[in-house]
Chain A
Amino acid sequence: SQELEQSPQSLIVQEGKNLTINCTSSKTLYGLYWYKQKYGEGLIFLMMLQKGGEEKSHEKITAKLDEKKQQSSLHITASQPSHAGIYLCGASYRAGTASKLTFGTGTRLQVTL
């Protein structure tokens, strides 16, 4: 089974609406990363969470990590067409300079006018 699950798989929202994307890990995370990808392009780093209960915001995007460090949410306020894309959560499960990232299944977001 997938180690990192995202929900929903796809989302269509009207411009101006709020939305939330969830990322659930089957085991305790060391670090959780959120990325955005436009189709056919590389990944753009959004935010990183490491401490249980941590919350970070940048512009209209807020990311949270639960106390148990197994679940994270990404919330977009007043969505805009520029928010459209694929959102991916990535998890590291150990510290260290070469530990790899496991990626979630991705959430495809469309923002309609």
Chain B
Amino acid sequence: GAVVSQHPSWVICKSGTSVKIECRSLDFQATTMFWYRQFPKKSLMLMATSNEGSKATYEQGVEKDKFLINHASLTLSTLTVTSAHPEDSSFYICSAREPTSGWPYNEQFFGPGTRLTVL
């Protein structure tokens, strides 16, 4: 299957700083990427849909000014957590769709995740 990478795999930062997480599709072009957040022992919650060349679509309750998403190329989407606070500590996972695949059109390939800890 297609490979999606995330960088960094983990990051520790001080409260008030900003952190950027990268999501890359390594062997395919992804017009759509998704950003999820996972709390300990909880399921994945979709934060936003990242579309190449256009603004991201945020889910209800997700602050777009807090979680900045940029999908500048067909292989890279970034999530920037601005002015991070301890409550932003979580496991962030991205996924990417390979648009030329046949059914299932909705198949998403997931990155390995980034663990963010805000002190």
Taking Cβ atoms with an 8 Å cutoff, the residues of A that contact B are 30-31, 33, 35, 40-45, 48, 50, 88, 92, 95-106, 108
Pair A43/B49 contact, Cβ less than 8 Å: no
Task: Find residues 92-110 in chain B having any chain A CB closer than 8 Å to their own CB.
Answer: 93, 95, 97, 99, 103-110
Pair A50/B103 contact, Cβ less than 8 Å: yes
Pair A98/B104 contact, Cβ less than 8 Å: no
Pair B43/A97 contact, Cβ less than 8 Å: no
Pair B105/A45 contact, Cβ less than 8 Å: no
Residue of B4, B36, B104, B112 touching A31 (CB-CB under 8 A): B104
Task: Find residues 56-106 in chain B having any chain A CB closer than 8 Å to their own CB.
Answer: 91, 93, 95, 97, 99, 103-106
Residue of B43, B105, B111 touching A42 (CB-CB under 8 A): B111
Pair A106/B106 contact, Cβ less than 8 Å: no
Give 7 nearest A-B pairs by CB, closest first.
Answer: A43-B110, A42-B112, A42-B110, A103-B44, A92-B106, A103-B43, A106-B43
